[in-house]
Structure 1
């Protein structure tokens, strides 16, 4: 048998080249046949395998045609442009077939290609280092070259063997994932892998019947032809077995496939559970029979666009809600071959939505009732405050008259003291009532912002506090001109009254107060007032501008409404308030408020 084999191959050497050239043609024809499946990742890698094997076979055939030793070596080197990338392409092919392409990123593809690329560089430069071929021996009798391999060749060969074995492992794992139909495809792929692997191992280890002759490229192309036969016979790569068996079958959503005639071709177990029709066959039944009465769903399968709708199904005296998505399925010619229907249970979501709507309705009703109560309380407080102010005003005025009348009576000191006490109490009560009135007015009143004459507003505030300024011997330095801003004059006057009175009460002895304004920035003007008091600590600063917050009650009377009123006024006018202080005695505090320019 060996004698016959030797005669065929070596008595007439051009036949050897012809064998390889025929395999190149077979590879090209195979690529043309499977090219229409190129959208599938595994087919792309199969094309790479066939193209690489064709390069290998062509250069190997040219090596036998060449008579010069240098030409043979050159063609042998060029064959590595096909040899080096076959293992990598095969590994990626098996990854794609087992639906694990998500595990191979672009960077990882480059990583596993590093050794083949190094091998390619080393084979081109082998004359300088002998890492691939330690020795190249011409065999003139058989018109071929014999090689003694260097260390890198064996590293590359072991790497290639490892990569191919990992690919075989990927395929073998598929037996646990796929059905018998797909396992037949796996067997074809395994056989197609083992044929060239065994042939190459025999060649490299010297176990081949014809030493020096490598049939590996021919066997790789033969394997490609076997796989192509599988593509045609089994429809390989047209279906995604893992997605079908592991994904769709385990989905909680119901899935069914309907052909163009409205007949159910396939479904997953979840659909039977959703429809409570376990044990009944719905394959090959019309969709309109299974979903009788749901015309919107049935009509959607007659369109060629993605549609989404909600349906309500009464099962076991209970309403269940489902979201249905209908998508057209296109074949390779981009023609609608059927529809994919996905049914998602949204009963819990729907019930939660209805409960939320009901809760919101109750909440709005509650807010409405509370709002009415607040309005009533505001109106009542406003009325009471007005009445209190009028009554307290009368008491205050009467105390003045009583004091003047008693001053003419001898030994009336005690009565005058009582009159002063009544007068001061009435004054405090009037101040508190005035603050409450402002608080209520700012909350409810709607105003239009107008340009402010800040100079006159500030002087009006000073006039209100003239008695206090005189009593504390306060000195106030204010600018001659003020930048223009927008606001509501009566409210801004109240802001200045609060700021000035606080600066006097909490300032130094005597109080020295600086007042000013910064030029407009970011469409706002900042007005400020600075005292010479003990300042405010960081802890105390956090309590400012809040209702009923008082930092030093022993220094001044009040109920802590002043700065909260300031904040509410400035907020209502679209501005901001704030303060700065180091907390160091004598450095005082700087309070400010900002108003919009336009």
Structure 2
């Protein structure tokens, strides 16, 4: 009678292992699978008895197969109960369909009358790993967000205080100079008001549930442009299309997206800034909306991190980008869309966002 028969004839042990929430796999020194429970078959996508007699390497991604053979040999030479892998490592399993998933494995062993057997207790941790990765990204973005808020507010406050002191302390200022300094103070006030708006919006994104509706995009764009101080937008040539592709979302949030994109395009556009706004239909049921500028552009690395970790962009690029783009990404993601930047150094940039054309196309 082999091990499998002994196992199945012991009804209590059989029932216990089959009812476990973890996958359980028994193997011998030759790395042959002797027994698997129902959960192990489900985890790896196999039917009953499909894995029996197969090598355990069948369940291991190709990049880890050779290393695993060494680990297996070492384990059988000195077996003990322990977790598999290192504290900071994430193990991977290979499913029947070829997909790879993250898992945790605890190792144990059984000494039978015939041979020494290894036992692996397997847990799928894909959801946890995904959540941890998303949390890491959010923390990076939050750090960038907080850093940029402090930097922007400090800069605008310094400007306001500095020009106010000049006006107060210098009674011989010409009316032209005085008015120029007052305009700068007002401009700083607008900027701080915008930062406070964005902070409040950032906070509301975490808790507010909104009802998505068809967006009157042309009106939203015009309202976003209306909020930009005259001294800034008068320097730019802004081209708006006569019509936009349809999409669903939340108007006030999308206004904030346009406001940030357009402000950045004015700030980082050419001299003078030439800005083109537009939209197009995509093949995946989304509408693409974009703001194109004639600025110095971004390189490939900057494009990859500008929405994630703008602090790494360097002086002259982060200022004015970090706060707004962190919010833009969150807004669009919460509306079941996504963001993108296309750019070539010295050839301008296109900042875009994608929204579902209808409720049926939401992620």
What TM-score, normalized by structure 1, do the two folds share? 0.33
Distance 2:344 2:168 in 1: 50
2:8–2:14 CA contact under 8 A, matched in 1? no
Alpha-carbon deviation of 1:436? 2.1
2:247–2:355 CA contact under 8 A, matched in 1? yes
Residue 589 (1) aligns with residue 349 (2) = yes
Q: List alignment gaps of at least 5 residues for structure 1.
A: 1-247, 259-293, 298-306, 312-322, 326-347, 375-380
1:550–1:560 CA contact under 8 A, matched in 2? no
**Greater RCO structure (CA 8 Å; 6+ sep):** 2
Alpha-carbon deviation of 1:431? 3.5
Distance 1:502 1:428 in 2: 13
Alignment CA distance shift 1:522-1:590 (3 Å): same
Task: Spell out, residue by residue over 1:259-298, the C-alpha distance to the aligned partner (whole angstroms, 9 max, x if none).
Answer: xxxxxxxxxxxxxxxxxxxxxxxxxxxxxxxxxxx9x76x
Distance 1:462 1:257 in 2: 74
In structure 2, the partner of 1:532 is 294
Alignment CA distance shift 1:432-1:480 (3 Å): same
Alignment CA distance shift 1:444-1:510 (3 Å): same
Q: 2:325 aligns with which of 563, 579, 582?
A: 563
Alpha-carbon deviation of 1:493? 0.5
In structure 2, the partner of 1:463 is 226
Alignment CA distance shift 1:256-1:464 (3 Å): closer
Distance 1:483 1:470 in 2: 25
In structure 2, the partner of 1:153 is none
Structure 1 residue matching 2:253: 3-state secondary structure: helix
Written as runs of structure 1 = structure 2, the 5 A alignment for 1:26-37 is none
2:311–2:318 CA contact under 8 A, matched in 1? no
Residue 483 (1) aligns with residue 248 (2) = no
In structure 2, the partner of 1:255 is 6
1:550–1:559 CA contact under 8 A, matched in 2? no
Alpha-carbon deviation of 1:443? 2.4
Q: 1:440 aligns with which of 197, 203, 220?
A: 203
Q: List alignment gaps of at least 5 residues for structure 2.
A: 18-34, 38-80, 83-105, 108-120, 140-145, 359-363
How many residue pairs get matched?
239
What is the CA RMSD across the aligned residues, in angstroms? 5.1
Q: Which entry has the higher C-alpha Rg, 1 or 2?
A: 1
In structure 1, the partner of 2:16 is 310
2:332–2:355 CA contact under 8 A, matched in 1? yes
Written as runs of structure 1 = structure 2, the 5 A alignment for 1:79-98 is none
In structure 2, the partner of 1:113 is none
In structure 1, the partner of 2:266 is 504
Q: Quick check: which one's helix share is greater? A: 1
In structure 2, the partner of 1:452 is 215
In structure 2, the partner of 1:580 is 342
Distance 2:8 2:168 in 1: 106
